[in-house]
Structure 1
Amino acid sequence: MPEETLPEQIANQLRRDILRGKLAPGAQVKERDNAAEMGVSRTPMREAIRILAKEGLVILRPARSPVVAQLSLQEVADNIEVLTALEMMSGRLAVERASAAQIEEIVEIQSRMERLYDDIDMIDVFELDMEFHKAIVRGANNPVLAEVHGAILSRLWRARYLSASRKRSRDRVLAQHNGIVDGLKARDTEAVHRHLSSHLEHLLINVQDFFEHRDDIAPSATAPLRPDPDLPSPAA
């Protein structure tokens, strides 16, 4: 796997800041301030922000600082509907097409998640969980499917993390993952479908629960959004 570029490294840090709520929905992502805080120049910071904008985590605005995106429950539900269809298709195709090495990669990610679950930060657990799902999609060996799945998954990144951190069901998640792994190893489409379907059903339930109780978790960002005189007008 190629090493991450500096903009990708910065994007990863900003993504984690968004997940943790350091950069809350509606908050401005100030290019100069964040670059100074991370000790980098503004050029890779600008590229990192564009990566997050492409993922749907931030919204670019002409001549003003970008802001952290906030999807509505309906937007999240619509995306989950598509994500579920893509992951169910991926599971079926992975049974048929995944190489032995690709299945071994999925097994290794799940083993690492199971081994480290109780000892690492919740964000690290979450990222392992997402890597598990992405590895299944890679096992489908359909680049178009992987591209579309990646775009939807990125858009749901924050909603999935917040719902997962509110509903940390360790035993259920690991049991479902292990069921999916066993089905892939046995090339058993029905088993993969059953465990993956059960796993994904809880996603919308958890997200709905999060939206229902989010005011109890953290206040919304309500600061007025003003033009940032520090930012140049974007090039056409």
Structure 2
Amino acid sequence: MTDSNDTSPLPFAPASLPEQIAAQLRRDILAGKHAPGATIKERDNAADMGVSRTPMREAIRILAQEGLVVLRPARSPIVAQPTFKQVSDNIEVLTALELLSADLACQTGTDDQIKAIVDAQYQFAAEYDSREPVDVFELDMQVHLAIAQASNNDVLIETHRSMLARLWRARYLSARRQDSRARVMRQHTLIIDGLVKRDADLVRLSLSDHLEHLLVNVRDYFESDDSDQAAAS
């Protein structure tokens, strides 16, 4: 596979060749190279990446399991176009998982795990203005993944990773809002402060506010997209 200047997209640290290919396709989808509804041509993408069609096919299956791609019988897969209802339902579940993760992190997270969250936030803040948007987004998600990891509940960690995968594009769209930087930094700071103090109430309040803006931003995106389509028709 050709060099693509990628950092390992989280929460999917690629190991096998299909996972590496899926990682690059995932980044391309987030960056808009493959728009919602666009076909993912197996042969063309394999040629572009310098790989065979077999690992490309497996990579596409990985993205289909995450909900980023829709498989179609005897036709090329397409980039998923979830409805607002589908996305909002997923956000509702993800919110419950992240709040539970934070509660458990305050109760059972080790000092090293709390430090890992602090370090992830430090890197996110330090590199926010110097990295590509997709890279910054992945650093943001690393903070949330570190909180889930500190829950020390394997079922919760795996379920959270799965739900985060399904909302990867929605969270990216929310993070790209122009007004998000100051707000996200403020909310992250309060969340981290609460975790360091083991103050579950403060963490829950700050995290709830943070995730509520995710739903607001996603709703605004869908309403804006609907308006653009209506104007074009």
- Counterpart CA distance in 2 for 1:173 and 1:216 is 27
Which contiguous aligned blocks of 4+ residues in structure 1 show a shift greater than 3 angstroms? 215-219
Residue 210 (structure 1) aligned with residue 203 (structure 2) = no
Larger RCO: 1 or 2 (CA < 8 Å, sep 6+) = 1
- Counterpart CA distance in 2 for 1:160 and 1:173 is 12
**TM-superposed deviation, 1:63:** 2.1
AA in 1 matched with 2:214: L
Within 5 Å, give how 1:1-236 maps onto structure 2: 4-214=15-225
What's the C-alpha RMSD, in Å, of the aligned pairs? 1.9
Which ranges of structure 1 fall in alignment gaps of 5 or more residues?
A: 220-236
AA in 1 matched with 2:114: I
Deviates more, 1:3-12 or 1:191-200: 3-12
- Counterpart CA distance in 2 for 1:179 and 1:168 is 18
- Counterpart CA distance in 2 for 1:79 and 1:47 is 25
In the superposition, the TM-score normalised over structure 1's length comes to 0.87
Deviates more, 1:149-158 or 1:80-89: 149-158
- Counterpart CA distance in 2 for 1:186 and 1:125 is 26
**TM-superposed deviation, 1:211:** 0.8
AA in 1 matched with 2:192: V
- Counterpart CA distance in 1 for 2:150 and 2:17 is 28
Counterpart in 1 of 2:4? none
Q: Residue 60 of structure 1: SS of its match in structure 2? A: strand
In the superposition, the TM-score normalised over structure 2's length comes to 0.88
- Counterpart CA distance in 1 for 2:228 and 2:33 is 13
- Counterpart CA distance in 2 for 1:138 and 1:150 is 10
| Aligned-pair identity (%) | 60
**TM-superposed deviation, 1:217:** 7.7
Contact 1:10 1:48 in 2 (8 A): yes
How many residues are treated as equivalent by the alignment?
219
Contact 2:171 2:214 in 1 (8 A): yes
- Counterpart CA distance in 1 for 2:227 and 2:26 is 23
